[in-house]
Chain A
Amino acid sequence: MTEFFINFPCFSIILALLASAVSTLLGKSAARRLTIIVCALIFCASLCTLYHVVCAGESVTYMMGHFPAPFGNEIRFGIFECIMAATFSLVMVLCVIGGAGSVIERIGGFRQNLYYIMADLALASLLALTYTNDIFTGYVFVEICTVAACGLLAARNSGKSISAAMRYMIFSLIGSGLLVLGIIFLYGITGHLLFPQLKESVASLWASGQYRIPLTAALCLLTIGPAIKSGLFPFHLWMPDTYSTALPGSAGILSGIISKGYIVFMMKLVFQVFGTEIFFESGISLIFLVFGICAMIFGSVGAIRAKSISRMNAYSSAAQIGYIYMGMGISAEIGMLAAALHIICHAVTKSAVFLSSGELIRVSGGKSDFFSLQGAGHRAKLAGVVFTVGAMSMVGIPLTMGFITKIYFARAGITADGMTLAVLLALAVSTVLNVVYFLKTMIRIYTPQKVGSQEHIVTGAPKGKMLAFSGLVLTVLNICLGLHCEPLVQLLRRGIEMI
């Protein structure tokens, strides 16, 4: 039976790729159903693999094809990888279900199944980024992920969304260029592409003191590339336009999981190629810490100044990405644990926030500015509740998962040498700023509309059921994890030790 389980990660990637190919032949609703089924199957497969890895107590290296290392290609999965794969596939399936209404409403005819092809491709590339043990395969799937994300953005046939997709692509390709250069540097120095061999060579070269500068340059390029792609300050400028023009489902997928896919890949590089000692010795961690703190503050300030709910959510995403990088910059154990927890927390929360804001905008006549949103929480009651719980989680109110991650960030901050004050201060300031903009929005959506003011016409058939399902699942998950997070924390702790 064990033999069978270890095939699941490889099958998941192939299944998602196959689904995207088959979707081209299907009609629009069949393509949607296929995507939902495949994502759900992959979620179950990830859980099975997780169970197997937890029972076995060690990570598994799986040979792709018939050539053993160092010539062949490999995938490798431990607890960390399986948890991330399960999170990605769960959020993907809920975003596809919840976003289906807006896709039907706003994407015409045959383009709908193109949308689901891109969703399948995005999931396949995210899984490959999570599981891969080969640096060049990682690069190829980073590019596939970028193309899929661009497809999800440009699916709406409006000038705004295409120009937003263009801007996203340009930022993203700069990141990819730096990433590939870093990979070539590393290959040039070590002559390997697989993570274990790379780690061995890098460790012995670093210990001998040879090639310090090229190795540091490679580490710099390999971390800055994904940082640009995931939108770390000051490279977050594409976010507001991109997320505000995307469909709610696409924005949830992009902000919730695609930007996290790059971070997970980078975490794997840091742990499995360079090792955390080199990462912290080289000073890159300090850059992460500083830019992460800047992102937390400037992202939140941008969110306060934003004139519409979707731009506010986008700036808020930039701030939350900052938390993750700050965690990675603090320490190898608890800092990374906090960052990994926040990846899950933000994936679950932000996708719910984007989906519910999409519904709030829809019942406000398609307008996303705060004035039009007045009373939206009464017009779409469930969306209002989902948004409120999501906002509470982003702020870090107890009973939600955001609270748990904030506690871990604070605990990590206490252990940070010399940076304790900065980290704790940044956490406090950023929390207050979060409260300001989320409270402002919540007061706005729950203020009843004045009698006789402009009537908001709700166009299109109600798409409530699917959205309600996704929103409820994400909200319940958020609260459950907020109430009882210890098992997940323990698993992630073991996963980070095993990585």
Chain B
Amino acid sequence: MIHNILHNYLFWVSMIIFVIGIFMLALDRNLIKKIIGLNIMDTAAYLFLGSLGYIQGLSAPIFTGKTMGQTGSELFINPIPSALVLTGIVVSVSVTALLLALTVRLYKKYNTLNLDEIIEAAGKEEDDD
């Protein structure tokens, strides 16, 4: 049991970070902290994904003059998880940007970052467009 946990320590670390992130995203009332939570959650997922493809002692999958002509499997780590992490980072960056933009708009309108207060204030107002 202990051996398994130690052997898969990156899995456990990323799960703990993921849970911290998802709870922050779901439960914290401050919008900025929510966005930080989202990023912590995504980072944990990417840490886990990156660790799946990592092979101890091997290098990044980039062919250079030295490695030309050799097959990749004994030199390089698995490049697919790294590529997926890159794609995932792009997704989370764009979502973060969108959330920050919405937060700026809400802060300008209601002068607070607390989501409960914002919802309460928005509930009272009539449609103003």
Residues of A within 8 A of B (CB): 106-108, 136, 139-140, 143, 146-147, 150, 154, 156-160, 162-167, 169-170, 173-174, 177-178, 180-181, 184, 187-188, 193, 241, 245, 366
Contact = CB atoms under 8 A, between A and B. Distances in A.
B122 A163 contact: yes
Interface of B: 18, 21-22, 25-26, 31, 34, 38, 41-42, 45, 48-49, 52, 80-81, 84, 87-88, 91, 94-95, 98-99, 102-103, 105-106, 109-110, 115, 118-119, 121-123, 125, 127-129
List the 4 closest A-B pairs by CB distance, nearest first: A163-B122, A160-B122, A158-B129, A143-B91
A383 B105 CA distance: 35
15 contacts: A107-B129, A108-B129, A140-B87, A158-B127, A162-B105, A166-B99, A166-B118, A167-B115, A170-B25, A173-B25, A177-B45, A181-B18, A184-B52, A187-B84, A366-B127
A184 B31 contact: no
Given A146-B95, A165-B102, A166-B102, A181 B45 contact: yes
A143 B21 CA distance: 18
A162 to B, nearest CB: 5
Contacts of A173: 25, 38, 95
Nearest to A158: B129
Given A136-B84, A136-B87, A159-B109, A174 B25 contact: yes
Most buried by A among B22, B52, B122: B122
A431 B35 CA distance: 41
Contacts of B110: 159
Nearest to B26: A174
Most buried by A among B31, B45, B103, B106: B45
B106 A106 contact: no
Contacts of A140: 87, 91
B121 to A, nearest CB: 7
B127 A180 contact: no
Contacts of B123: 160
A178 B118 CA distance: 27
In terms of DSSP, what is the predominant structure of the interface of chain B? Answer: helix
A367 to B, nearest CB: 9
B127 A160 contact: yes
B45 A163 contact: no
A164 B105 CA distance: 13
A411 to B, nearest CB: 39
Given A143-B95, A160-B122, A188-B52, 20 more contacts: A107-B129, A136-B84, A139-B91, A140-B87, A147-B94, A147-B95, A154-B102, A159-B109, A159-B122, A160-B125, A162-B102, A163-B115, A165-B102, A166-B102, A174-B22, A174-B26, A180-B45, A181-B48, A187-B52, A245-B127
A162 B31 CA distance: 13
Contacts of B115: 163, 166-167
A170 B106 contact: no
A160 B87 CA distance: 33
Contacts, number: 98
A184 B49 contact: yes
A336 B118 CA distance: 41
Contacts of A167: 115, 119
A159 B106 contact: yes
Contacts of A166: 31, 99, 102-103, 106, 115, 118
Contacts of A165: 102
Nearest to A171: B26
B21 to A, nearest CB: 7
B88 A180 contact: yes
A162 B128 CA distance: 12
Contacts of A143: 91, 94-95
A177 B21 contact: yes
A143 B89 CA distance: 12
Contacts of B45: 177, 180-181, 184
A366 B129 CA distance: 11
B34 A177 contact: no
Contact of B41 (A147, A177, A188, A245): A177
A139 B26 CA distance: 20
A170 B26 contact: yes
Contacts of B81: 187
B119 A177 contact: no
A127 to B, nearest CB: 18
Nearest to B94: A147
B23 to A, nearest CB: 10
Nearest to B21: A177
B25 A162 contact: no
Given A146-B95, A150-B98, A170-B34, A159 B128 contact: yes
Nearest to A146: B95
A108 B49 CA distance: 43
Contact of A158 (B48, B87, B128): B128
A146 B42 CA distance: 16
Nearest to A156: B129
Contacts of A366: 127
